[in-house]
Structure 1
Amino acid sequence: MEWNDITTYGVWAYEQVWRCAESFFDWGGWAAFGKWLKDWQTLVSGVAAVLAAGCSVYFLSKQIRQADWHERARQRRRFAAARAILPLTLSQACDYAEMAIRELAPLVPAARMAPVPVNFSRPEPPPELVASLERMIEATDDPALIVVLSEIIIEMQVVAANIRQLVTVGRARTTDAQNIQAYMARAATIYARAEHLFPYARGEHATVGKLDLPALTTKALKIMSVSPHDYEVAYTLAANAKT
């Protein structure tokens, strides 16, 4: 069949359909259609409702998918931002742990002979440090990372409370040398946990990995030149540190 034949046939079919439509309405098609619609209005209404519901579900699902996509994108950006500053955050945690240990260490030799001086410096965790750790916890879904970061926050709060108790308002308080060494060992666990996370924070490792807390805590005391001979209790507690 040639193109002209196809065109001619199409025109003929169109004319036939149009004539049928004209005949339908000329013969009272509107009345027949109205009667049919009245007889089947329940079914027609049901079909229309189903179609409307289907359209609503489609567009609602589309909106939900778009919202999910935007939320995932926002979560990725938040995680990237928190991880970008994680090395700095961990460095601040190490600085706090080192500051606490260096303030506590001189108190051990004189703990049984003299009270803690009233002007004793009480290092406190920087508020921005805790806030940065909290943001990283909120941004990640890695259970291992969440556990280590949470433990850093908890240990900082405990160490700060222990140091705060060394001096009461307006007067000095004596304390036991072993307690002070216990505070030092606890501060060293903060340093150990932060050091453990550095390879992950710098992008060197894809996962957090297993934490060897006793080894890293002992290493932290050595890094800060804490003598095993003079601070035997601190090293004993470090060797038995538990997550």
Structure 2
Amino acid sequence: MVTPLVRCNVPSDWTADFSQCLYEWQSLETGAFAVLAALIGYLAIRLQIRHADKLENKRLMRLHRAKRFVLPLTLSTATHYANEVIRSLSEASAILRSTPNGRLSGHWSPPVFPSEIPVSLGEFVETSDVETVNALVSELLRQIQILNARLVSLIADEDVFRLGINMNIAEYQLQAAKIRQLCGALFPYARGQSEDVPTELERGPVVSSLRFNGTAAPDDDFESVIERFQSVGKPWWTANDDR
């Protein structure tokens, strides 16, 4: 039954008849308790989410450290592959020069592509949030996959593009030298010696390493490719290229 103490003014009526005021204000109390329960539930969920995020961040950090520890081995493998490509392409060029109608098919095959490199580099990028490093690793991944595809097609397209095959060989050697430069730029970070990586790569070191440590008996096609590459007055790669 509702009594005259309907308004239950604070504090006078509550002091006079506390239990009746509780009865009159039961709807308000129910609402207040519901709001309080919702607030407690919200705070509990927020704490759970923060805890889960913290655990996930720790897991990703451990995973990234593991991928970074493996990165030097991947870079060494990629560098070795690039060196083998340059050497092997020099042999291919010598085969073509040895006889007027020299052919690669049956006499030459490209180095075996280390398929673990793309997997390792891709997993590294998935766990890294350093955009400058990711841009450099992504460029290395792109270059090495394109080079492998081009080497495979070198023999397959020999009959169709025979007139330009020497030019292709020179261009592929240049691309392999780029891969060596990319690996060299990433080694200090991979080994934990630095947290910074270059944001651009110049053309000069690519040509220098190719001339002194790569090709044997460069020909006119090789010199033409090198001259065209050097004639561009800007770095051959910048981090902005991946944005």
TM category (shorter chain) comes to 0.7 to 0.9
Q: How does 1:158-237 map to 2 (within 5 A)?
A: 158-168=146-156, 174=162, 175-222=164-211, 224-227=213-216, 229-230=218-219, 231-236=222-227
Find the aligned partners of 2:117 and 2:207 in 1 and give their Cα distance. 24
CA distance in 2, matches of 1:67, 1:225: 52
Q: Distance in 2 between the 1:127 and 1:225 partners?
A: 23
1:55 to 40, 46, 56: 40
Residues 133 and 237 of structure 1: CA distance in aligned 2, closer, same or farther (over 3 Å): farther
Distance 1:229 1:119 in 2: 20
The 1:136/1:150 distance shift into structure 2, 3 A limit, reads: same
Q: Tell me what 1:5 maps to.
A: none
Q: Which of 69, 92, 100 lines up with 1:107 in the alignment?
A: 92
- Aligned partners of 2:80, 2:212: CA distance in 1, in Å? 12
Structure 1 position 116 matched with structure 2 position 104: yes
Report the CA distance between 1:106 and its aligned residue: 2.0
How far off is 1:222 after superposition?
3.9
Unaligned runs of 5+ in 2: 1-16, 238-243
More displaced, 35-44 or 53-62? 35-44
TM-score (normalizing by structure 2):
0.77
1:196, distance to aligned residue in structure 2 (A):
0.9
Q: 2:123 is matched with which residue: 125, 135, 140?
A: 135
2:74 is the counterpart of 1:89: yes
Pick from 59, 64, 79: which aligns with 2:64? 79
Question: Distance in 2 between the 1:122 and 1:152 partners?
Answer: 19
Kindly tell me: are residues 237 and 68 of structure 1, through their superposed partners in 2, closer, same or farther at Cα, counting changes over 3 Å? Answer: farther
Greater CA drift, 65-74 or 173-182: 173-182
Structure 1 counterpart of 2:5: none
- 8 Å CA contact retained: 1:123, 1:160: no
- Structure 2: distance between partners of 1:118 and 1:130: 29
Alpha-carbon RMSD across the aligned residues, in angstroms, is: 2.5
TM-superposed deviation, 1:212: 2.5
TM-score (norm 1): 0.77
Structure 1 stretches of 4+ moved >6 Å: none
Give the conservation status (yes or no) of the 8 Å contact 2:72–2:190: yes
Conserved 8 A contact 2:201-2:236: no
Question: 1:124 deviation in Å?
Answer: 4.2
Q: Aligned partners of 1:208, 1:122: CA distance in 2, in Å? A: 31
- Specify the code of the residue in structure 1 equivalent to 2:69: A
- 1:237: how far off? 5.2
Q: Does structure 2 retain, via aligned residues, the 8 Å contact 1:196–1:211?
A: no
Q: How many angstroms apart in 1 are the aligned matches of 2:87 and 2:213?
A: 8
- Verify the 8 A CA contact 1:182 1:237 in the aligned structure 2: no
- The structure with the larger Rg is 1
- Match in the other structure for 1:7: none
| Paired positions, count | 211
SS state at 2:203 partner: helix
| Residue identity in the other structure for 2:200 | L
Deviation sequence 1:52-105 (CA, Å, 0-9, x none): 011101111111111111111111111111111111111011011111111111
Unaligned runs of 5+ in 1: 1-28
Structure 1 pair 215/189, CA: closer, same or farther in 2 (3 Å)? same
